[in-house]
Structure 1
Amino acid sequence: MTTIGILGAGQAGATLARSAIEAGYSVLIANSRSPQTIADLARSLGPRARATWAADAAAAADFAVLAFPYVPGHALPAEELAGKVVLDNNNYMPWRDGTFSAVDAGTRTVHELRQEQLPAAKLAKALSHIQFHGRDQVRIPGDEAPALVRLARPAGAPDRSALVVSSNYPEAVELVRGFYDRLGFDTVDNSPLNESWRSTPGTPMWQASFDGQSREELIRNLQRAERTRPSSSRSPAG
């Protein structure tokens, strides 16, 4: 059984852990504190989940997910993640994170900066435009469920949504493709990592992400993106 190390136990990490377990994975989940602080969460996830220290989760995982914002100078378990595929679901949100001059200047994406923090890992931007919460305004039954759950469909379903992956490593893209499929989504490859700005908050694909978009729609929306200075205002929650 494939083991995922989920570093970050907030809403995104906890929601992803539940979906991954339902898809047949086992999960090691960690936060920036101690395993005891998320013991209740781990128990609620069932027998295929265990709370642990971040470095231990990174070391034991077959691949890992970073479910927390990028912070310059942040000490990550780089040695434990060396050689592994690492999914980064972060988005650059200046209203939340402050501004990063390289990202604002267009010389780096926030995911390239994260890759520099983990030079020996195989980073992929993934799961960055699927919401881990329900819609703010419930229109129909089911809207209260996280979009990761609400939009999931079996392979071949006519209304199956697609998600983006960007990476400098083809093997990371293929791992994410298989992961997405088991979670219930098709894949659009928007590599390399320096193209990941096309799936950032405010872009056409981002605006269409709350109710899902087909693979063809997602490709068109990525192509429509124009690189502009990121907004300092809060992004819509969907």
Structure 2
Amino acid sequence: MDIQEIRNVGILGAGKVGIVLAGLALDAGYTVRISGSGSVEKIALTIKTLVPGAIASENADVVANSDIVILAIPLSRYKNIAPALLQGKLVIDAMNYWWETDGIREEVLDPSSTSSEQVQAYFHGATLVKTFNHMGYHNLQEEARSAGDPKRKALFVTGNDHDAVDTVASFVDSMGFDTVVHYRLADGIMTEPGSPLFGASLRRPELKDIIDHFDQTEFGQKIAAQTR
């Protein structure tokens, strides 16, 4: 899929991250559909108030009418979505494990692989790309800027499918951020809680420096060995 083919953005999750990403997508000119954990009626007023112009709907309608789908739900709830629902879709994983919302890590994740690898394995018919997960939602909301702005911040984008990663990187650019791109989904662990990048709101050169340094650390090499 080429970035020019993306007109409709679907967001599963109407929490803080989902709402912010919906607003950025609307500002970028996309048609946005968004679903929450409850009924459409339950979230419709919130959506109308916080992101006027976005369409509140159910998961199935959001996915069916979207060219790209963003997972912005608590990580512990991704298996509440049927794998077949995302069959054939380009999917952005914006999720992280967070103990306050997800509970005991071992009950949510297999320690032998990264969260995104497990999400990809579950949604085996979809193509998963990891991004939007290391920057706080306030920073996402407040620091989106036009290309070329010297204060523009960057997001890490990674996945196993080169074409999908490139498309998502172009999408991230359209949402107001530069990118640092990798082509290995397991590298998404470098942006999750406990990593040097989690919470980072940095310009591209600074972000790239941290990623390159992380790759060279003993911890980074250990992670790479575990996820090859």
Same fold per TM (> 0.5)? yes
Assess, with a 3 A threshold, how the Cα gap between structure 1 residues 41 and 72 changes in structure 2: closer, same or farther: closer
Please show how residues 154-169 of structure 1 align to structure 2 within 5 Å.
154-169=146-161
Shift of 1:93: 2.4
Q: Secondary structure at the match of 1:43?
A: helix
Runs of at least 5 residues in structure 1 that lack an aligned partner in the other structure: 133-145, 230-238
- Aligned position for 1:143: none
The Cα shift of 1:167 comes to: 0.8
Alignment counterpart, residue 211 of structure 2, candidates 222, 225, 229:
222
Q: Give me the whole-angstrom Cα distance separating, in 1, the residues matched to 2:107 and 2:186.
A: 16
Q: Which residue of 2 aligns with 1:213?
A: 202
1:2 maps to what in 2? Answer: 7
Give the CA RMSD over aligned residues.
2.3
Once the two structures are TM-superposed, the CA of residue 216 in structure 1 deviates from its matched residue by 1.8
- What stretches of structure 2 of length at least 5 have no aligned partner? 1-5, 223-228
Does the aligned pair in 1 maintain the 2:35–2:62 contact within 8 Å? yes
Residue identity matched to 2:204: R
Q: 1:99 aligns with which of 105, 117, 125?
A: 105
- Identity rate, percent: 34
| From 19, 44, 52, the counterpart of 1:46 | 52
Structure 1 length as normaliser, TM-score? Answer: 0.80
Residue 71 of structure 1 is aligned with which of 69, 76, 91? Answer: 76
CA contact (8 A) 2:34 2:57 kept: yes
Preserved contact between residue 76 and residue 117 of structure 1 (Cα < 8 Å): no
Q: Is the 8 A contact 2:154 2:177 kept in 1?
A: yes
State the one-letter code of the partner of 2:203: S
User: What does the per-residue CA deviation read over 1:29-52, in whole Å, with 9 as the maximum and x for residues that have no partner?
Assistant: 1012211111112323233x2111
Change (3 A) 1:73 1:6: closer
For 2:124, give the aligned amino acid: P
Per the alignment, residue 225 of structure 2 pairs with none
CA distance in 2 between partners of 1:8 and 1:38 (Å): 10
Report the alpha carbon displacement of residue 103 of structure 1 after superposing the two structures with TM.
5.5
TM-score, normalisation: structure 2: 0.84
Structure 1 residue 172 corresponds to structure 2 residue 164: yes
Letter in 1 for 2:185: L
Cα gap change, 1:3 to 1:156, in 2 (>3 Å)? same
Instruction: Mark the CA change 1:215 to 1:165 in structure 2 (over 3 Å): closer, same or farther.
Output: same
Q: Distance in 2 between matches of 1:124 and 1:216?
A: 22
Q: Which moved more, 1:119-128 or 1:84-93?
A: 84-93
